[in-house]
Amino acid sequence: MALAGTDSTAQGEKGETFFLRAIKIALVVALYWFVSITMVFLNSYLLDSKELDAPLFVTFYQCVVSVGLCCLMNFFSNLCPGYVDFPSIKFDLKVSREVLPLSIVFIGMITFNNLCLKNVGVAFYTVGRSLSTVFNVLLSYVILKQTTSFYALLCCGVILGGFWLGVDQEGVAGSLSWSGVIFGVLASACVSLNAIYTKKVMPVVDGSIWRLSYYNNLNACVLFLPLMAMFGELGRVVRFNGLAELHFWSMMTVGGVFGFAIGYVTGLQIKFTSPLTHNVSGTAKACAQTVLAVIYYASSKSMLWWTSNLMVLVGSFGYTWVKGLEMKKVQVPQEPHTSVTGQKSDPGV
């Protein structure tokens, strides 16, 4: 399950034919697309409930499911070490405390992400959550003092233009939700902060993305309780008529499972391709997700609306390509090795 044993896998792949290798990559990419798109539509369904207006509770439950799955995988790893590969997980209060600043950013990321999805829907979600790249550049300069090339900034300008055009076209269509846009901007900022803090915290969990996921979600479960009480969601959940329905809890649990699975399939796609290819795949997936949402909800969109989406996607693809070329120039040639810590920590990807 865990992404260990990369070197041994790579050695086994040397004897594979090109066709077999291509089939494996295609299946991995298809799995990533399926899990990611399904997760977004599932979250949209859960958050769009007219009877239960409790987005924090939905997010809290998904964190509970993630913690439970981490413990379950740890159990099976100890029970069947030859079949299930998962890092040993044991709660350590000191580690939990050191991960806490990241957990606060993590809560903001997943909460604002879900609130954005709740208010703008799936079709506008790609544009509404498109400023992560722009915040990456801004915060990297402010916090890490890292400068960005002219061409990368140009790509960010295209993304900003697509974002503002998309907001304008949603307003023209009469479907603009300013709260959704604001939540999308805040989610984008938190995604960037999450990536920066993740790099700082990784040594605390011995570089394990799964241990980090365990502590992040565990901290989030505790922190969400006072937040739900503060916003009156606990009372709404108690009064919810469908609380005893199996269908409700089944959908909630499935949403949590897909939320947990996205971390695995993201790492798997990076492992079988590369971080650059993963970002390109994520951009293409966002395009397919938008088209599917428009078809599924039978929406009618203007040419300028589609242009805004195209600008965001082209800008994102261009930025990924430029950064990939820049990294190739500065990196010293070395043995291929994939690190999960380099992935985008984005629930919407």
Q: Residue 3: which pLDDT band, with cuts at 50, 70 and 90?
A: very low
The Cα 324–Cα 276 span in angstroms is: 6
Is the model's pLDDT at 86 over the cut of 80?
yes
**Does residue 25 fall inside a structural domain?**
no
Closest to 189 measured CA to CA, from 127, 150, 265, 136: 136
The answer on 209 and 311 residing in a single domain is no
The answer on 212 and 90 residing in a single domain is yes
pLDDT value of position 15: 57
The Cα 147–Cα 246 span in angstroms is: 52
Closest to 320 measured CA to CA, from 187, 173, 132, 82: 132
> Which of 207 and 340 is assigned the larger pLDDT?
207
Closest to 1 measured CA to CA, from 56, 54, 74, 60: 74
**Does residue 108 fall inside a structural domain?**
yes
**Does residue 245 fall inside a structural domain?**
yes
Q: Where in the sequence is the domain holding 256, given as residue range(s)? A: 38-120+177-272
**Does residue 9 fall inside a structural domain?**
no
Q: What average pLDDT score do residues 245-260 get?
A: 92
Q: What average pLDDT score do residues 89-112 get?
A: 92
The answer on 156 and 294 residing in a single domain is yes
**Does residue 194 fall inside a structural domain?**
yes
pLDDT value of position 197: 86
The Cα 25–Cα 173 span in angstroms is: 40
Q: What average pLDDT score do residues 238-259 get?
A: 91
The answer on 299 and 204 residing in a single domain is no
Q: What is the pLDDT of residues 29-74, one digit of tens each?
A: 999 999 999 999 999 998 887 778 899 999 999 999 999 999 999 9
The Cα 293–Cα 68 span in angstroms is: 31
CB–CB of 193/165 below 8 Å? no
**Does residue 338 fall inside a structural domain?**
no
Is the model's pLDDT at 124 over the cut of 60?
yes
Q: What is the pLDDT of residues 275-299, one digit of tens each?
A: 767 878 888 898 899 999 999 888 8
DSSP 210-244: HHHHHHHHHHHHHHHHHHHHHTTHHHHHHH-GGGG
The answer on 96 and 182 residing in a single domain is yes
The answer on 302 and 183 residing in a single domain is no
pLDDT value of position 13: 52
- Which amino acid is present at 306? W
The reported pTM is 0.81
Q: Give me the helix-helix angle, 209-230 and 55-79, nearest 10°.
A: 150
Cα dist from 211 to 13, 68, 145, whole Å: 28, 13, 29
Q: Tell me the percentage of the chain whose pLDDT exceeds 70.
A: 90
Q: Residue 345: which pLDDT band, with cuts at 50, 70 and 90?
A: very low
Closest to 30 measured CA to CA, from 281, 296, 259: 281
The answer on 224 and 279 residing in a single domain is no
pLDDT value of position 4: 41
Residue 341, burial from CB neighbour count under 10 angstroms (0-12, 13-18, 19+): middle
**Does residue 18 fall inside a structural domain?**
no
CB–CB of 2/210 below 8 Å? yes
Is the model's pLDDT at 2 over the cut of 50?
no
The Cα 228–Cα 205 span in angstroms is: 28
The answer on 288 and 189 residing in a single domain is no
If phi > 0 it is left, if psi is from -120 to 50 it is alpha, else beta; for residue 88 that is: beta
Per the structure, how many domains does the chain have? 2
The answer on 169 and 184 residing in a single domain is no
Is the model's pLDDT at 178 over the cut of 50?
yes
The answer on 228 and 95 residing in a single domain is yes
**Does residue 335 fall inside a structural domain?**
no
The answer on 192 and 101 residing in a single domain is yes
pLDDT value of position 337: 42
Cα dist from 243 to 111, 252, 279, whole Å: 22, 11, 39
Q: What average pLDDT score do residues 79-107 get?
A: 89
Q: For the CA atoms of the chain, what is the radius of gyration?
A: 20
Is the model's pLDDT at 102 over the cut of 80?
yes
pLDDT value of position 257: 95
pLDDT value of position 49: 78
Q: What is the pLDDT of residues 296-340, one digit of tens each?
A: 888 888 999 999 999 999 998 899 888 888 877 766 444 444 333
The answer on 267 and 181 residing in a single domain is yes
Q: What is the pLDDT of residues 255-275, one digit of tens each?
A: 999 989 988 888 788 888 877
Is the model's pLDDT at 10 over the cut of 50?
no
DSSP 106-164: HHHHHHHHHHHHHHHTTTTHHHHTTTHHHHHHHHHHHHH-----HHHHHHHHHHHHHHH
Q: Rounded mean pLDDT of the chain? A: 85
